[in-house]
Amino acid sequence: MRILRGAYLARTTRSRRLCRDSTDAERILWAALRGRQLDGLKFVRREPIGPYFADFVCRDAKLVVELDGGQHADSAYDERRDAAISEAGYRILRLWNNEVLGNVEGALMTIARAARSAGERGGEG
């Protein structure tokens, strides 16, 4: 077993817990994104960016994909979080859980388009 350094251990533990406690929409989307299944893009999940954890991240395209339920409507926390993630150089794409649950193919097309447009700008967004 590999021993992690202090700061990384806490983040890794939290990331693993978030993965384990994923919503149905997150599990469905992850099954479609993992292993470079979407246009060869590598996505990771529960990636720490600053003090926040992004749902899904394509590092090469500098794209963060967030899945939201109703609790995120008009959230001041999400505004602060989005500002910090944007400051780190990432573009944020927000999708509703029901969009993924009702039309995963449409959600994947939206993600692929966003990743391509980010790539065309050199990852800047």
Q: Please say whether the beta carbons of 101 and 28 come within 8 A.
A: yes
pTM of the model: 0.79
Per residue of the chain (125 residues), what is the pLDDT tens digit? 555 455 566 655 655 555 566 789 999 999 999 999 999 999 999 999 988 999 999 999 999 999 988 665 667 888 899 999 999 999 999 999 999 999 999 999 999 999 999 766 654 44
H helix count then E strand count, the chain: 5, 4
Distance CA 95, CA 121 (A): 22
The count of C-alpha atoms lying within 13 angstroms of the C-alpha of 101, restricted to the half-sphere facing its C-beta, is: 10
Name every residue whose Cβ is closer than 8 Å to that of residue 69 and which is 6 or more positions away in sequence: 23, 96, 97
